[in-house]
Structure 1
Amino acid sequence: MVQAWYMDGSAEDQRKPHRLEPDRPVTEQQLSELGVHAFKLDADSYETDPELAKIRKENNYSWMDIITIHKDTLPNYEQKLKIFYEEHLHLDDEIRYVLEGSGYFDVRDKEERWIRISMKKGDMITLPAGIYHRFTLDENNYIKAMRLFVGEPVWTPYNRPADKYDARTKYLQFLEQKA
Structure 2
Amino acid sequence: MSGIEAWYMDESSEDQRLPHRLSPNRPVTREQLEQIGVYHWKLNADIYENDPELQKIREERGYSYMDIITIHPDKLPDYGNKVKMFYEEHLHLDDEIRYILDGSSYFDVRDRDDRWIRVAMSKGDLITLPAGIYHRFTVDEANYTKAMRLFIGEPVWKAYNRPADDFDIRKAYVSSLACS
Matches within 5 A, 1:1-179: 1-178=3-180
The number of aligned residues is 178
The one-character-per-residue Cα deviations of 1:2-35 (angstroms, maximum 9, x if unpaired) are: 2000000011100000000000000000000000
The one-character-per-residue Cα deviations of 1:111-151 (angstroms, maximum 9, x if unpaired) are: 10000000000000000000000000000000000000000
User: How far apart, in 1, do the equivalents of 2:171 and 2:76 lie?
Assistant: 34
CA RMSD between the two structures: 0.4
Q: Please, which runs of 5 or more residues in structure 1 have no aligned partner?
A: none
1:164: how far off? Answer: 1.2
DSSP-derived class of the 1:46 partner: helix
TM-score (ref. length: structure 1): 0.99
Structure 1 consecutive aligned stretches of length 4 or more whose deviation exceeds 6 Å = none
Q: Please, which runs of 5 or more residues in structure 2 have no aligned partner?
A: none
User: How far apart, in 1, do the equivalents of 2:152 and 2:166 lie?
Assistant: 23
TM-score (ref. length: structure 2): 0.98
